[in-house]
Chains A and B, each alone.
Chain A
Amino acid sequence: MAATAQPTADDVRARLAAVDDPELDESIVDLEYVHDLTIDGSEVLVTLVLPTAWCSPAFAWMMATGARDELEALPTVTTATITLDDHMHATEINRGVNERLAFETVFEDAEDDIEAVRRTLAEKARVSRQYRAVDALLDAGLDADQVVALTRADVDFEDETDEALVYLADDAFAVCVPADPLADHLEKAAETGLVREPTDRLFATVEADPIAADDLAHEQRRARLTGATISGQGTICEGLDRARKLKRD
């Protein structure tokens, strides 16, 4: 391997930024879980510290494997070693993640498989993001009938602007809407399999069913509650994280 084949710290951080805390729907870099980062040739060592030693092993596992996979997707990285520090199950998780074992092998008493947990959390994140996207559309003047009927093909993201065009009335006209909430929603809607084809509806109930126009207000309240749960938990975790950092410093 040539001497230049070494990842830069920026490459590594950009990759890690793509890993979310699955419960809080926020990047582990923004949440400051990355405590240590060493690049040694084509090997990368990352130390993660979560807000509490009691943080769910399933969530910790998802973040650690996510970080490993993101980093090893870089052509310049041969091995990414992830060390979870100061956690109730650090030993099991570090061994499992770095030896590429299955979660169920390491935690035999886990009730559900980790993919089911991941889906549940992704679904919650999708609903919470949908709340903001629908809110932006209602703010832009769309009515409930229009919102629930929108499909993927009705949204066009304009290059180099922070707005999207939403086509209405069989493309007779378009409305300008802030792009971010729609793009954020689409990202999770794709991940959860809700929106795959251009003809797929953009929005669905918490149970992933189509929304009737009359129910949109109620669905928005349910989605708002999910958002309040994620951000409320985020507030708790952020507080714990800060308290823990004070102790470590």
Chain B
Amino acid sequence: MYRHEGADVFVIDAHVHHWDASTENIIHEGGEQFIQCFHDYHTAFTPAERQWSIDEYRKYSAERMVEDLFRDGHDDMAVFQPTYLGEFYENGFNTIEDNAGLAETYEGRFVLNGRFDPREGEAGLEELERQKDEHDITGVKLYTAEWRGDSKGWRLDSEDSFEYLEKCAELGITNIHAHKGPTIRPLNRDAFDVRDVDDAATSFPELNFIVEHVGFPRFDDFAHIATQETNVYGGLAVVAPMALARPRKFGEIMGELLYWVGEDNLLFGSDYALWEPEWVVEAVMEAELTEDQRDEYGLEFDLETKQKVMGENAAELYDIDIEEQKKKLADDAISAEFDLGDQYGGATAD
């Protein structure tokens, strides 16, 4: 657990992956360009001494992931966001089954999310039910720009998609994470358009829509939608690492987010393995708005706000009682393995 200004900050890293972009798994040049692009993001924002080589980056072990997140990375829990990309990778880039093993081994540490693709029709709906039955998922990660045959994406506000969202509501899968962000072949107003979230969020008030990467490069469109819809959230993956590399820019974006979207609707995510949470968490926790920014936005990025963004908001969405959770984590396998029990013990000692 992270300590800041004498206070505990329970960190739920709301966006992590365990991917395989090894050359053996790539079946389309898009797969190679995808991982190269990810690695460029990594190189662009990671401190030089913390950078991974492209070979390390293609595929990493489960042991390394657990160490990077929980031993070194200040994460108390992490939410798996699967990314299939079946047209690019033989066995998928990162599937729910890849994640399930880790989630089972380290019970209580991971939230396992599923996925759907409305272009899969009836079979896709059955697959969604299977994910619920087998893994008891309460959230899904959606990749609206995923290729499938001739199709280069789909819309969240389409009739087919609504059928899936209805199924989610029925099954109790309430957290809909939509990747809306950095480009993967956007053709003009394309599959990364965030406006389709608007109609979906209005039509399904019982579901929560988390717009990952706060909609960049359509951050302004996202912010407008999130201002109007209380069930629309912003995921900070990709923005968070700017706290170290571009602190002023990070402050400006946080100022805008807190002003338009509000402190209750923002979720921290490291986007591991794009970045290791260790330095990202530290940078976000140390970040402050400049005096100009405080005047401009009329607000602060203070400890209480950070506690919400780093974990409390995600806990709310995933129905996690943080105090109860601390007790569970105090003597779980990870705490035992890395000798982390004391930090959680504090919760019950007094």
Query: Which residues of A line the B interface, CB within 8 A?
Result: 23, 51-58, 88-89, 107, 109-112, 114, 116-117, 120, 124, 221, 224-226, 228-229, 231-233, 235-236, 239-240, 242-244, 246-247
**Would B187 and A109 count as touching, CB distance under 8 A?**
yes
Taken together as a complex, chains A and B put the C-alpha atoms of A231 and B190 apart, in Å, by 21
- Contacts A/B (CB < 8 Å), 13 sampled: A52-B40, A54-B182, A57-B187, A111-B190, A112-B189, A120-B189, A225-B223, A225-B256, A232-B252, A236-B44, A236-B182, A243-B39, A243-B43
Interface size of B by CB at 8 A reads 42
Chain B neighbourhood of A58, CB < 8 A: 186-188
B36 / chain A contacts, CB cutoff of 8 Å: 53
B236-252 contact mask (Cβ, 8 Å, vs A): 1 or 0? 00110010011001001
Taking the closest CB of chain B, its distance from the CB of A217, in whole angstroms, is 12
Cβ-neighbour of A243 out of B44, B218, B249 (below 8 A): B44
What separation, in Å, do the CA atoms of A124 and B242 have in the docked complex? Answer: 23
A166 to B185 CA separation, bound complex (whole angstroms): 45
B148 to chain A, nearest CB (A): 13
Q: Please state if A107 and B187 are interface contacts (CB–CB under 8 Å).
A: yes
Q: Are B45 and A239 in contact (CB under 8 A)?
A: yes
Kindly supply a per-residue 1/0 record for chain B positions 174-187, scoring 1 wherever the CB is within 8 Å of any chain A CB and 0 otherwise: 00000000111111
* B8-43 with Cβ < 8 A to chain A: 30, 33-34, 36-37, 39-43
How far is the CB of B77 from the nearest CB of chain A, in Å?
27
Check if B40 sits within 8 Å of A243, measured CB to CB.
yes
**A109 and B216: CB pair below 8 A?**
no
Q: Is the CB of B183 within 8 A of A52?
A: yes
A242 touching B44 in the complex, CB below 8 Å, given contacts A229-B220, A232-B253: yes
| One of B43, B182, B217, B249 near A23 (C-beta < 8 A) | B217
Q: Are A54 and B185 closer than 8 Å at their CB atoms?
A: yes
> B89 contacts the other chain (Cβ, under 8 Å)?
no
In the complex, A235 Cα to B218 Cα: how many Å? 14
Taking a contact as CB atoms under 8 Å apart, the answer to whether B188 and A114 are in contact is yes
Check B106 for interface membership: any CB of A closer than 8 A.
Answer: no
Does the CB pair A233–B217 fall under 8 Å?
yes
Digitize B103-142: 1 where CB-to-A-CB distance is under 8 Å, 0 elsewhere.
Answer: 0000000000000000000000000000000000000000
Across the interface, which residues of B come within 8 angstroms of A111, CB to CB?
Answer: 187-190
Across the interface, do A56 and B37 meet the contact criterion of CB distance under 8 Å? no
CB distance from A125 to the nearest CB of B (A): 12
Among B33, B39, B216, B238, the residue within 8 A (CB) of A54 is B33
CB-nearest residue of chain A to B151: A109
A81 to chain B, nearest CB (A): 24
Closest CB of chain A to B280's CB: distance in Å? Answer: 14
Using known A-B contacts A88-B30, A232-B219, A235-B242, determine if residue A224 contacts B256 with beta carbons closer than 8 Å. Answer: yes
- Chain A residues, Cβ within 8 Å of B218: 229
A52, A114, A236 — most chain B CB neighbours (10 Å): A236
Q: Contact between A239 and B183 (Cβ–Cβ < 8 Å)? A: no
Q: Do the beta carbons of A225 and B44 come within 8 Å of each other? A: no
Q: Are A246 and B33 in contact (CB under 8 A)?
A: no
Using CB atoms, name the residue of chain A closest to B150.
A109
Contact between chains at A54 and B217 (CB < 8 Å): no
Partner of B187 from the list A56, A120, A221, A240 (CB cut-off 8 Å) is A56
**Which residues on A sit within 8 Å (CB–CB) of B245?**
239
Chain A CB count within 10 A is highest, among B44, B239, B242, B245, for: B44
Known: A54-B183, A225-B256. A246 touches B189 (CB 8 A): no
Taking CB atoms, residues of chain A closer than 8 Å to B259 are 221
Cα–Cα distance between A129 and B169 once the two chains are bound (Å): 43
* Complex: A89 Cα to B259 Cα, angstroms: 38
Give CA–CA (A204, B39) in the complex, Å. 41
Chain B nearest Cβ from A16, distance in angstroms: 23
Closest 4 A/B residue pairs (Cβ): A239-B44, A243-B43, A243-B40, A233-B217
Q: Which residues on the B side are within 8 Å of A53 (C-beta)? A: 33, 36-37
- Which residues of the partner chain A approach B189 to less than 8 Å between Cβ atoms? 111-112, 116-117, 120
Given A54-B33, A58-B187, A235-B246, decide whether A226 and B220 contact each other with a Cβ distance below 8 A: yes
Nearest CB in chain B to that of A225: its residue? B220
Q: Is B204 part of the binding interface, using a Cβ–Cβ cutoff of 8 Å?
A: no
